[in-house]
Structure 1
Amino acid sequence: MPTTLLDNKTAVITGAAQGIGYAIAELFVAEGSRVIVADIDGAAAEVAAKQLGGPDVARGVRCDVTSADDVDAMLAAAADAFGPVDVMVNNAGITRDATMRNMTEDQFDQVINVHLKGTWNGVRKAAAIMRERKTGTIVNLSSLSGKVGMVGQTNYSAAKAGIVGMTKAAAKEVAHHGVRINAIQPGLIRSAMTEAMPQKAWDQKMAEIPMGRAGEVAEIANVALFLASDMSSYMTGTVLEVTGGRFM
């Protein structure tokens, strides 16, 4: 049997019950990884884990990434089920879009907490385990919104830009311990959330994409696999745009 890219690796993926997170989990399982499907919706995480092949290859865990205790428990569950974390994917996120004039302080705080603090919790907790073992990869999900800024997303754009800075700073701290940390900036990706946007907004975004189409969740998963595996063994602190050429 050919060796797979993540053979016998333990991967933890947050926000993995659906969308991009689930697509990453699905590909990682196909590439030989055992996966912890973490999500704020524990029931959905368990359903997703069952769909991925059940307890031998995937376990569902409820995790609120804004809670350091929850993240510790998630990583402990991974170690108990499959062994210490080898690959950490910080994907969990929410949107609370509104113009700056109308955005509430609570809407700002919620998005910053889930994306920025949540990613920080995932990075620092996973890196602490990985550095002791002198190996490991971390993949953070930023967004094109963190590069160019989007109207109605001062909270989301700030958080996603922050993830880029965090990725680079953390990568410098742990590189000599054998731990690599990189980030992905997706553009317009076809999902239930994006397809629900008004047609006018969709058409405007499509007009900005040189390749003339939206991306698919599997195309983000492919890049996550590249960064998680030894194919990217000499890369750390990098940000890969997966945007169809939008805003290059």
Structure 2
Amino acid sequence: MTEVATNDGLLLVGCGNMGRAMLQGWLTAGFIHPNDVHVVEPAEALRAEARVLGVRTYASAEMLHAGFSPATVVLAVKPQIMAAVLPAYRPHVTESVVVSIAAGVPVATLEASLGEVPAVRAMPNTPAAIGKGSTVIFANARVSPQQAERVTRLLSAGGAVHRVEHEALIDAATALSGSGPAYVFHFIEALSAAGTQLGLPPRTALALARETVFGAGALAMAASTPPAELRRQVTSPGGTTEAALRVLTEDDALKTLVRAAATAAYRRAVELARTA
């Protein structure tokens, strides 16, 4: 695979579930060489998992070389601790574009601790680990076209990248694609449980639920017709699917529930922004 140069390397701050998923995506796609990646992660178990990937690891920012300023810094720590973590990295972002994937942490919070840096807010999701993710980004005015291209190219290792012009839309994306995989996983759980209740062996029910969601999603991506039309195509009048959909669509039951869930996620993202 062709490697994409990232100038003087990349610093990943935090290597939990999302950070590791992104790191695996970058390395698998060949978008960056392991030798060019530096990971700061205080948890020894997570550092060990990162080292297996061939990257350089550190327990804290203080262990970084004093003059180290990589081309790209990716902040993948929990939103609740971002403000406490940021000051230690100010000496290392003099030549960097800073990318934060922390939900609800506004660019203003990054600028308050790091100075007037080129900053990008990004909301990826966990399928980025296998190159099937979706990432939404917002860049402040200091991000150059070259830096924007570099960040977009790097994040595209995890899948599709969408740019929005208004930062507030990142919170909406958090509620949709950022938290969305959990909604889908829960649906798989529910579908599998329903199959078991109907008499299928648990292993068969889970396999069918996984395959059905995977296949339907792949068809929705491949088809030129909208999802509503795909739904109509599989719904025969008086058939089994129609009977099921009658339950899901009565009083807009499913849409109302999903809307409420997404709204709750959105409001939480906004709350995190206010406290960041």
| TM range, smaller chain | 0.3 to 0.5
Please report the TM-score for the alignment, with normalisation by the length of structure 1.
0.47
Please report the TM-score for the alignment, with normalisation by the length of structure 2.
0.43
Comparing both structures, which one devotes a greater share of its residues to helix? Answer: 2
Bigger Rg, structure 1 or 2: 2
Which structure ranks higher in relative contact order (CA pairs < 8 Å, sequence separation ≥ 6)?
1
